[in-house]
Amino acid sequence: MVNGEGAFPSLALALLGLVRDGARHGYAMYREWNEPNGLGAVWRIKQSRWYALLARLEASGYLTSTVQPQGGRPPRKVFRLTPAGRDAYLQWVRSPVEHGRQFRLEFLAKLHFARQEGPGVVADLIDRQRAVCRGWLEEQQAHMAEASPEQPFLYLVHRYRAGQVAAMLDWLDACAGMPDRYAASV
């Protein structure tokens, strides 16, 4: 715990996806993130925080930067992945989320970048996440069985969660069944 260490909010690793195929400066990454079909609709980040996250990723050794001066304008800070950054990114984009509350933002982010890695990566990710979700569902169903008689409120809580997880599984099935070049039809 000397410097620049400390557990990372895993969602921040998503930003690495923007430089997976080449160097870009912070502002350009920010614009790409907020493009109509980008992740901005899922996870909104303010500019000030954006730059702070990039700085942290650099401090953690996942990004390096070089400064490009340009007449008049503030100089661009161009980022690229370090080998450690590439490892962390690939590990991140291929692994399912471990808690239901991460699905809403983080799994969607993973899926977004997995699509850019190719159909194989997408299929793998969805399969692994399905397995995790099936585990959640079983847990909740077990809790429902336990809570049923004397604890009606607890029963409702677990039934709610089970329903949410079941909807995730349906959606994952739909994603898996959808051709990757989905654009033309439907």
Residues that bind a second copy (CB under 8 A): 36-37, 41-42, 101, 104, 108, 111-112, 115, 148-157, 159-160, 163-164, 166-168, 170-171, 174-175, 178, 182-183, 186
Rg (CA), the chain: 20
Nearest of 155, 130, 128, 127 to residue 141 by alpha carbon: 155
> Which range binds DNA by CB under 7 A, 69-77, 84-92, 107-115, 169-177?
69-77
> Which range binds DNA by CB under 7 A, 14-22, 66-74, 111-119, 130-138?
66-74
**Neighbour tally for 79: CB within 10 Å:** 25
Given strand 63-68, what is the order of strands in its sheet? 24-25, 76-81, 63-68
Report what 23 binds from a second copy, DNA, none; CB cut-off 5-8 Å by kind. none
Q: With respect to DNA, which residue has the nearer C-beta, 22 or 149?
A: 22
- Phi/psi of residue 44, each to 5°? -85, 130
Query: Which own/partner pairs from 56-65 qualify as long-range (CB within 8 Å, at least 24 positions apart)?
Result: 56/4, 56/8, 56/12, 57/12, 57/15, 57/16, 57/85, 59/3, 59/4, 60/4, 60/5, 60/8, 61/4, 61/85, 62/13, 62/16, 62/88, 62/89, 63/16, 63/19
For residue 48, state whether it binds DNA (rule: CB under 7 A).
yes
Q: With respect to a second copy, which residue has the nearer C-beta, 55 or 154?
A: 154
For residue 9, state whether it binds DNA (rule: CB under 7 A).
yes
Q: How far is the CB of 101 from DNA (least distance, A)?
A: 12
Q: Could you say which of 14, 15, 16, 45 contacts DNA (CB under 7 A)?
A: 45
Q: With respect to DNA, which residue has the nearer C-beta, 102 or 164?
A: 102
For residue 11, state whether it binds DNA (rule: CB under 7 A).
yes
Sites of contact with DNA (CB under 7 A): 6-9, 11-12, 25-28, 31, 45-49, 51-55, 70-77
